[in-house]
Amino acid sequence: MGIKWILRTLACIPLLTATSAWSAEIHGRSSTQFQWYNDVFTDKKVAEFGEYLNLSITKIDKAEKFSIQGYGRLTQDVRNGGGLNGRLYYLYADYRDLFDKINLRFGRQFINYAAGSALVDGGQIELKKVGPVAFSIMGGRNVYFDLNGEATHPRDFVFGAAAYLTGFKKTDAELSYFMKFDNDGLARDQLGASFKQYLFNSVKLYANTRFDIPSESFSELLAGVKYFPTSNLVLTGEWYQSYPTFDSTSIFSVFAVSRYQEGVFRVDYTFNDMFSANAGYNMQDYEGADADVYEVGCRIRPIEQILLSLNYDRRKGYGGNLNGGIAEITFEPIKPLELAAGIHFDVYERDRVTGEETARKYWAGAKYKLAQNMSASVRVEDNVNARFKSDWVGRAVFNYNF
């Protein structure tokens, strides 16, 4: 779907609402942006204008079951030329509660199952209120983008199905299947599951897994627990395992890979309205090679208008060492205006040959609320590291909600 298709689709929206038997409502956000940065692939300075449009059309029918959702962008590099570049992220029609049991969604949409996710030009059908279980099927053209725009090939398709629990206030569970085709045939064939359970009003258990059928291996496993004995304290423990898998049609599928595992423990505590703190430990395992990561941070609000965030992390082990931190401050001198600034500073050592290097980022920004439905913001940052002595990037934005 190119830029012409986007413009034609948007042009039809006023006609759709005008021919309705009753007045439809259109809401959304227009975000006009100007960005400047250095393109790391071409080493050229880029000055780019962009228009990002997010819209929702509701109350199209009397029962208010039908709606249209859309989000896309148009950009133009005014420094180097090249013409307009358009991307349509989603644009779909949604009809809910057909016969009080079926939800229909057709068009470009993002679909996420435990077994896999994709941006799809196609449809999704949900059958709900069938006892404690609901069902979903989806399929269509698999959409993906490269640096220059949409890169989908003629034979790129995805299909999937899911069954999930419904009607349980404290329990969520899903079993799903996902497969993807490309020009060379079946590229992905996966099963997935997810689970979430609340216990005693103070414990949350959760788990996710994804199984790759061609390689007969679990590509992802996650199990975690959150314990919040009081409203001020949250304890988190997680175990995660990843075994990289590639498309069956890719040459990389024959390469040997390493299994990665990590264990995480984290504490978040809010002392009062003025001070909160967090600390965490992450043990990383690369099939016999280990690394340890420690993190501490705090948020301080000495007065209502000022918020100071501090974070320090240290990593030691396989892949190199890191020692660094982040300091950010937000200041609201008057109600419509918010000022912010920060510094990121890291000292890292990939190996003994390279020695220690530093990476620094300095940034400042401001946001001003012009009216209830309008705001403007600007952010400028400079990156200094082993590659750049100075790399300036920035963005100016005007948002209008309608």
DSSP notation for 103-120: EEEEEEEEEEETTEEEEE
The residues with which 293 forms a beta bridge, in sequence order, are 282, 315
Contact 354, 383 (CB under 8 A): no
Q: How far apart are the first and last CA of the chain?
A: 26
Would you state the pLDDT for residue 20?
A: 47
Give CB contacts under 8 A, 24+ apart, made by 205-208: 208/114
Provide the sign of the torsion angle of the four alpha carbons 18, 19, 24, 25, taken in this order.
negative
Would you state the pLDDT for residue 18?
A: 47
Tokens 């962009």 map to which residue? Answer: 50
Tokens in use for 34? 């100007």
191/260 Cα distance (integer angstroms): 20
Which of 342, 337, 341 is CA-nearest to residue 375? 337
Q: Which residues contact 354 (CB under 8 A, 6 or more apart)?
A: none
Cα 196 to Cα 205, 226, 230, 333: the distances in Å are 6, 11, 20, 42
Would you state the pLDDT for residue 6?
A: 47
Task: Using 50 as the pLDDT threshold, list the residues of the chain that sit under it.
Answer: 1-3, 5-7, 10, 14, 16-20
Give CB contacts under 8 A, 24+ apart, made by 11-20: 13/55, 13/57, 13/68, 16/57, 16/60, 16/68, 17/57, 17/60, 20/60, 20/61
Neighbours of 100 (CB within 10 A): 8
Contact 226, 236 (CB under 8 A): yes
Contact 307, 275 (CB under 8 A): no
Which of 141, 138, 139, 142 is CA-nearest to residue 125? 138
Which of 299, 348, 342 is CA-nearest to residue 319? 348
Would you state the pLDDT for residue 5?
A: 47
Tokens in use for 304? 């209502």
| 3-state SS assignment for residue 286 | strand
Would you state the pLDDT for residue 271?
A: 96
Would you state the pLDDT for residue 22?
A: 59
Would you state the pLDDT for residue 398?
A: 98
125/275 Cα distance (integer angstroms): 47
Neighbours of 72 (CB within 10 A): 22
Neighbours of 197 (CB within 10 A): 15
